[in-house]
Amino acid sequence: MTQSYKASYRAFTNIALIKYWGKRNESLFLPLTSSLSLTLDAFYTDTTVEFNPEFEADIFILNGVEQGLEETQKVGRFVDLFREAANISLRVKVTSVNHVPTAAGLASSSSAFAALASACNAALNLGLDNRELSIYARQGSGSATRSLFGGFVIWHKGEDDDSQSSYAESIDDADWDIGMLFVVVNAKEKKISSRQGMAHTRNTSPFYQLWPSEVENDLAKIIPAIKEHDFETVGAIAEHNAMKMHASILASNPSFTYFEPESLVAMQIVKELREEGIPCYVTMDAGPNVKVLGRLSQMDQIIARFKQDFAADQLILAKTGNGPLKLEL
Ligand code: DP6
């Protein structure tokens, strides 16, 4: 009987509170700035990998559908990092399921590459810890670096072109009164990917030159606020950071934006809630969906207000999530 190597992992999505927007080295996925995120429990990817001498080619099955050459090669190139580390050339079968509430359109590469990295490490008995795995996950998609840990996570930009110096680590388990409401404005696939959007902003936006120092300042302020569980300071810094990223995007040439009319409606509701004495804050990524950071204990009130303008299935509540979880085969 031939030996196969198999393992299964679940990893959770994270949302950045201090954004990663721009690379200094595109092939190594080295970012221009450090970034900071919150891992959430509502969206995750389950991935099984099997390395088997009987396989003649890599196979990639996503949500039950066998993927074409391009997607399979992309996954195969990522798995190559692990094949090299284990010094094997066996072909792999990768089976992934994205658990995203119906029609939310919130599937994310962060959970996908974190789950794949964790599964490859276990299947091939490489014994890498999560910090080392974050360096691997980074080379699939930058934001995946941060999904190797639960709670609040920092991804260090690292030094020069030293791939090993850019990794993630946990700074707080986020086991306090905090949650995130996803307001699904548009579930369709985004028109301008983060990868394209960040390169275009970096290359053409005159405001981008301010971005790295703004991120430094925001990180220096948000980290102590997280450690003190100072929710309002954390939220205010996160919202301002997201707005600075989107302002810089708007100033790119030709200009573009991820905002849609309903994104602005959601942002207006957050402002109103704050005026009514319910602190909550907005963040947005490379798409029109709005994420509202709030106290978990006040989410009922926040959701009730959103239901006046949005359908119940556009609103998804997430609590803080953990790092990757080994699944039984
Ligand atoms: C706006 O990690 O998707 O969500 O590294 O090119 O795969 P690549 O980009 P990706 O970018 C995420 C951008 C963001 C902000 C963030 O998650 O920090």
Q: Is the pLDDT of residue 314 over 70?
A: yes
Does 174 sit in the ligand 1 pocket, CB within 6 Å?
Answer: no
Q: Best of 20, 193, 243 to mutate for ligand 1, by most ligand atoms within 8 A of CB?
A: 20
- Beta bridge mates, 180: 293, 318
> Helix H segments across the chain?
69-86, 109-123, 130-138, 194-204, 211-227, 231-250, 261-275, 299-306
pLDDT band at 186 (very low <50, low <70, confident <90, very high): confident
Q: What per-residue confidence (pLDDT) applies to 2? A: 67
List of residues 6+ apart from 202 with CB closer than 8 A: 21, 22, 23, 32, 208
Mean pLDDT on 175-187? 94
Provide the 10 A C-beta neighbour count for residue 306.
22
**Which pLDDT value is given to residue 3?**
82
- The CA 23 to ligand 1 mean position distance, Å, reads 10
Q: How far, in Å, from the CA of 29 to the mean position of ligand 1?
A: 10
Average pLDDT in the 260-267 region? 97
- On the question of pLDDT at 102 being above 80, the answer is no
Ligand 1 midpoint to CA 194 (Å): 6
Ligand 1 site-directed mutation target among 143, 200, 259, 284, most atoms within 8 Å of CB? 143
